[in-house]
Amino acid sequence: MDKLNTEQEYQRIITVYGKDDQLGALNLLERQLNTMTQRAQMLLGLCGIVITVTGFSGRIIAGTNRAAQLLIVSGVSITLISAALVVGGVMKLLWITQQPPHEDLPQLIRTTLAYRNRKMRFYHAAVYVLLLGLTCYVIAIAIMLLNPHASTVAPAR
């Protein structure tokens, strides 16, 4: 199925809701924005887990060899970029009622669709960046597991 542009999606929504229930169409968009926010919160949670685990075991992983060091540092850095995309692009708030124009409901629906689409692009970018960060992280862990006696980190005293 081809992706609809904003105008095509607006026409589809109006076909479903009718011109008399444009507030229902806005409620639909509000629910979609809520769903995106929930998914963005899940991504932030995953980023937090990666950062927390790195705090506890990153030194052990990095102690394996130079490749593991570069991968663990890259993985956590890329994960932070993903978190920044989520916070700056998806979680940033602009209420539907603050969107211009205030008096033209059909145009408000179109503007809100464009707003949702911008947030969705940030969300997709954050997902791909997080997957890249997790890939680096998992490769670093695999290197550590494949070299169980290579750790150069001295035990804590």
Domain contains 107: yes
Condensed to tens digits (0 to 9), the pLDDT of residues 84-120 reads: 999 999 998 888 777 777 678 888 889 899 999 999 9
Domain contains 98: yes
Cα separation of 106 and 103, whole Å?
9
Helix extents (H) in the chain: 6-17, 22-62, 66-85, 105-146
Domain contains 25: no
Condensed to tens digits (0 to 9), the pLDDT of residues 15-69 reads: 888 888 888 888 999 999 999 999 999 999 999 999 999 888 888 888 889 999 9
Domain contains 2: no
Task: Look at residue 60 and give its three-state secondary structure.
Answer: helix
Q: What is the pLDDT of residue 156?
A: 47
**DSSP states along 121-134:** HHHHHHHHHHHHHH
Domain contains 7: no
Domain contains 21: no
The range of the structural domain enclosing residue 75 comes to 31-146
Domain contains 19: no
Number of structural domains (the chain) is 1
Domain contains 24: no
User: How many angstroms separate the first and last alpha carbons of the chain?
Assistant: 61
